């Protein structure tokens, strides 16, 4: 097939993904928003979320302009890498904005649907999550395809344009993931500690001044933030596969094969999403509803995975005439699926690890925290072993290119997988709206069941994002060795050892800054909530209305202030090492950051998910239910787990990938500077 025909098919794949977004948005927006009270609450959440995003994009614009100028001045080919960077930034930001915009309109529609139908509520929430998922894959594929079409890929210097595009996506992910995570958990901590623990009111009680900020945070952190995180992983894996593919194979195969695989992934993900058809459960049975929802969404995953295996077989055979890279892709796809299953085991409310944490809550907060941390630590074993096995197999089947293709295999069905992940915060918002609008016990229980499933799917998404980040980072490490002309980085070299230690340290410093951002924000919101309960007469009795905007503003200001230093560190540290100790030291930095970042991210995400679902499990009626001492202890565990699973842990995905991109883009400059 001619190159222009291949490119046309690839672009059509991206357009198809965006067309499916339009169809889903139409399906969601035609549903009713419910009564005036529900509309008022939803409007407040949407306005707060979009206001935060506007302010974050303003800060991001300043950062983008600075990086654009640096790339345009120092990185060849000028200014094409800088233009690629700008394109990656704009498309990633657009995906986040579109996905969150629909999510903030779907939450109230999910709650209204749950008045009459649990299955319809699930369908709306899942469809809204799919909007984010297919915005990510559609815009990501279109962006890479168009810049590949515009610039002459036969010129090896133009490979850096692909890397620039991926770097732009990383910049947005850093801001949305870290900033959104700090916002959401600052609000969540403040709402829980004062509302639940001190005053004993429900999680989403409208009397709580931080309740709107808490629901806003679900959208900015877990929809826009997660979407930008996986957008960055997605384009990173494709870009690394294209660069290594062109170097290892030939121009046509190396460039077009990854793009064709991504286009096929969009098609099979659409089929998988359409196969998610929940059946109604008449009785209000929490466990049956949770199990039915899991089975319904898992059906979509199985369908898309099976179809992708078949499509990949034909695509890779058609381009290479052999199956070695197909097996590399399968190793990544299978590893991703098994990691998701392991994450579900350690975080699901109906599995033993989470039930043990709930049982430990009867002994108090300290035991809950100890049990949760231990669960997170032991949960690293399976993901690490699976990534190691996938990496070894991928290398055997396809050398360094095989590792990049394995990372693509893990992300190839991202449209479907991200739909499941972003479903979670939408279901959480719907439960909050049902509580605040006083829709009744039955509706609240339906929404709680949807939310419990969302906690698990969100945990699956985080585990999946972390594992894919590890493989993508290995691909970037392999790419760095190529562009920096390094044959080996020996641990007998002092420069390499220094890089390894600094990379390991960077993980802990980055995590600490993210956690302190939540601590400072949570402290400020706790004081504001206490002030309002003390000063606004009749608030506790429900006779006065709290000042929701004050808490939203505090969370926004703290998040924007706290995310700047971590963002600068990720960019500056590899540059300092590269220009002082040299390229080999940067290779050590990448290895050290990957090792510690991967382990810390898995531990934090799974501990946080298990604590959260242990709290939900107790709230379902076991060990005394809501208001019991065990419930209060589980709330404390969940509060510790919030910045673990939604701020520091997920942000480490960005860290380990972004340092790799900075290293790859500036690698040739490091070589020249050391030579001089």
Residue 265, classified by CB atoms within 10 Å of its CB into exposed (0-12), middle (13-18) or buried (19+), is buried
| CA-wise closest residue to 230 among 183, 257, 269 | 269
Q: Write the pLDDT tens digit of every residue in 206-257.
A: 888 888 888 888 888 888 888 888 888 899 889 888 888 888 888 788 889 9
Find the radius of gyration of the CA atoms of the chain.
Answer: 24
Q: Are 458 and 425 in contact (CB under 8 A)?
A: yes
Write the DSSP string, 491-509. TTSHHHHHHHHHHHHHHHH
CB 78: neighbour CB atoms within 10 A? 13
* Omega prior to 79 cis, within 30 of 0: yes
Under the banding of pLDDT at 50, 70 and 90, the label for residue 621 is: confident
Separation CA 467–CA 328 (nearest Å): 16
The answer to whether residues 184 and 661 touch, using CB atoms and an 8 Å cutoff, is no
Predicted local confidence at residue 453, as pLDDT: 78
Neighbours of 295 (CB within 10 A): 11
User: pLDDT, tens digit, for every residue of 529-541?
Assistant: 889 888 888 888 8
- What number of other Cβ atoms are within 10 A of residue 579's Cβ? 14
Query: Which tens digit of pLDDT belongs to each residue from 641-658?
Result: 888 988 888 888 888 888
Q: Which residues are within 8 A (CB) of 185 and not within 5 positions of it... i.e. 6 or more apart?
A: 217, 221, 518, 521, 522, 642, 643, 646, 647
Helices (H), 536-648: 548-562, 564-580, 583-619, 629-643
Residues 103-130: pLDDT tens digits?
A: 999 999 999 998 888 889 899 999 999 9
Distance CA 145, CA 139 (A): 10
Determine how many CB atoms are found less than 10 A away from the CB of residue 626. 16
The answer on pLDDT for 473 being more than 70 is yes
673 vs 308, which has greater pLDDT?
308
* Separation in Å, CA 245 to CA 159, 163, 348, 519, 598: 11, 14, 39, 45, 26
Closest CA to 629 of 365, 343, 410, 356: 365
Give me the helix-helix angle, 583-619 and 365-378, nearest 10°. Answer: 130
How many CB atoms sit inside 10 A of residue 364's CB?
A: 14
Is residue 376 predicted with pLDDT exceeding 90?
yes
Band the pLDDT of 504: cuts 50, 70, 90: very high
Q: How many other C-beta atoms are found inside a 10 Å radius of the C-beta of residue 71?
A: 24
pLDDT of residue 440: 81
Distance CA(210)–CA(218), nearest Å, equals: 13
Lowest mean pLDDT among 1-10, 260-269, 600-609: 1-10
Nearest to 657 by CA among 510, 559, 455, 518: 510
The confidence score (pLDDT) of residue 537 equals 87
Please state, in angstroms and rounded to a whole number, the distance separating the CA atoms of residues 253 and 437.
56
Give the largest CA-CA distance in the chain.
76
* Rounded mean pLDDT, 343-372: 90
Whether residue 610 contacts residue 641, with contact meaning beta carbons closer than 8 Å, is answered with: yes
Reduce the DSSP state of residue 435 to 3 states and report it.
helix
Note every long-range contact of 571-580, with CB atoms under 8 Å and residues 24 or more positions apart, other chains counting. 571/67, 571/658, 571/662, 573/502, 573/506, 573/659, 574/659, 574/662, 574/663, 574/666, 575/662, 575/666, 577/498, 577/499, 577/502, 578/663, 578/666, 578/667, 578/669, 578/670, 578/673, 579/670, 579/673
How does residue 174 score in pLDDT terms, banded at 50, 70 and 90?
confident
Q: How far is CA 160 from the centre of its chain?
A: 25
Task: Give me the pLDDT at residue 156, please.
Answer: 60
The pLDDT tens digits of the residues spanning 325-351 come to 999 999 988 888 888 888 888 988 778
């Amino acid at each position: 097939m001619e190159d222009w025909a291949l490119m046309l098919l690839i672009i059509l794949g991206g357009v198809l993904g965006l067309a499916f977004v339009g169809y889903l948005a139409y399906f969601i927006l035609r549903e009713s928003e419910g009564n005036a009270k529900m509309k008022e609450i939803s409007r407040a959440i949407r306005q707060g979320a979009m206001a935060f995003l506007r302010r974050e994009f303003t800060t991001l614009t300043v950062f983008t302009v600075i990086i654009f100028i640096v790339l345009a001045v120092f990185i060849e080919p000028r200014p094409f890498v800088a233009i690629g960077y700008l394109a990656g930034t704009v498309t990633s930001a657009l995906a986040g904005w579109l996905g969150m915009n629909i999510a903030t309109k779907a939450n109230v529609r999910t709650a209204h649907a749950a008045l009459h139908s649990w299955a319809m509520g699930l369908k709306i929430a899942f469809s809204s999550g799919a909007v984010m998922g297919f915005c990510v894959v559609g815009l990501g594929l279109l962006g890479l395809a168009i810049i590949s079409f515009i610039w002459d890929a036969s010129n090896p210097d133009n490979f850096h344009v692909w890397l620039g595009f991926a770097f732009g996506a990383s910049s947005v992910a850093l801001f949305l993931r870290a900033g959104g995570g700090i916002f959401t958990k600052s609000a969540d901590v403040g709402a829980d500690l004062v509302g639940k623990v001190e005053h004993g009111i429900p999680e989403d009680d409208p009397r709580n001044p931080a309740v709107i900020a808490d629901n806003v945070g679900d959208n900015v952190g877990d929809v826009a933030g997660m979407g930008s995180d996986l957008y960055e992983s997605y384009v990173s894996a494709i870009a690394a596969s294209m660069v290594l593919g062109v170097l290892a194979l030939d121009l046509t195969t190396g460039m077009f094969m990854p793009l064709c695989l991504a286009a096929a992934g969009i098609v099979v993900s659409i089929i998988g999403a359409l196969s998610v058809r929940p059946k109604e459960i008449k009785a209000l049975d929490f466990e049956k509803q949770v199990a039915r929802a899991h089975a319904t969404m898992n059906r979509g995953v199985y369908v898309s995975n099976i179809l992708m295996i078949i499509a990949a077989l034909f695509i890779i055979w058609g381009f290479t005439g052999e199956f070695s890279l197909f097996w590399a892709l399968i190793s990544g796809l299978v590893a991703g699926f098994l990691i998701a299953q392991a994450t579900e085991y350690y975080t699901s409310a109906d599995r033993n690890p989470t039930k043990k944490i709930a049982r430990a809550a009867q002994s108090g907060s300290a035991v809950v925290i100890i049990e949760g941390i231990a669960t997170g630590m032991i949960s690293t074993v399976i993901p690490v072993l699976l990534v190691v096995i996938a990496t070894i197999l991928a290398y055997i089947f396809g050398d360094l290119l095989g590792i990049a293709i394995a990372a693509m295999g893990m992300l190839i069905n991202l449209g479907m997988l991200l739909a499941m992940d972003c479903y979670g915060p939408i279901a959480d918002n719907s439960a909050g709206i049902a509580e605040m609008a006083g829709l009744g016990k039955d509706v609240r229980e339906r929404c709680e069941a949807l939310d419990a499933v969302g906690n698990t799917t969100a945990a699956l998404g985080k585990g999946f994002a972390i594992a894919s980040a590890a493989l993508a980072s290995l691909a970037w490490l392999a790419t760095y060795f190529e562009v920096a002309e390094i044959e080996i980085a020996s641990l007998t070299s002092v420069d390499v050892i220094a890089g390894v230690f600094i990379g390991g340290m960077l993980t802990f410093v980055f995590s600490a800054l993210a956690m302190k951002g939540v601590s400072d924000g949570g402290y400020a919101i706790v004081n504001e909530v206490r002030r309002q309960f003390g000063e606004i007469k009749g608030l506790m009795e429900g006779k006065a209305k709290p000042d929701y905007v004050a808490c939203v503003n505090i969370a926004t200001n703290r998040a924007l202030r706290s995310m700047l230093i971590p963002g600068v560190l990720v960019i500056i540290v590899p540059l300092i090492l590269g220009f002082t100790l040299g390229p080999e030291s940067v290779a050590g930095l990448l290895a050290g950051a990957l090792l510690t970042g991967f382990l810390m991210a898995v531990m934090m995400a799974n501990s946080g998910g298990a604590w959260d679902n242990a709290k939900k499990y107790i709230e379902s009626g076991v060990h005394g239910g809501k208001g019991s001492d065990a419930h209060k202890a589980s709330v404390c565990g969940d509060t510790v787990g919030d910045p673990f699973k939604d701020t520091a842990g997920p942000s480490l995905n960005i860290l380990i990938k972004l340092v790799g991109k900075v290293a790859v883009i500036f690698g040739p400059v490091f070589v020249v500077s050391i030579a001089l």
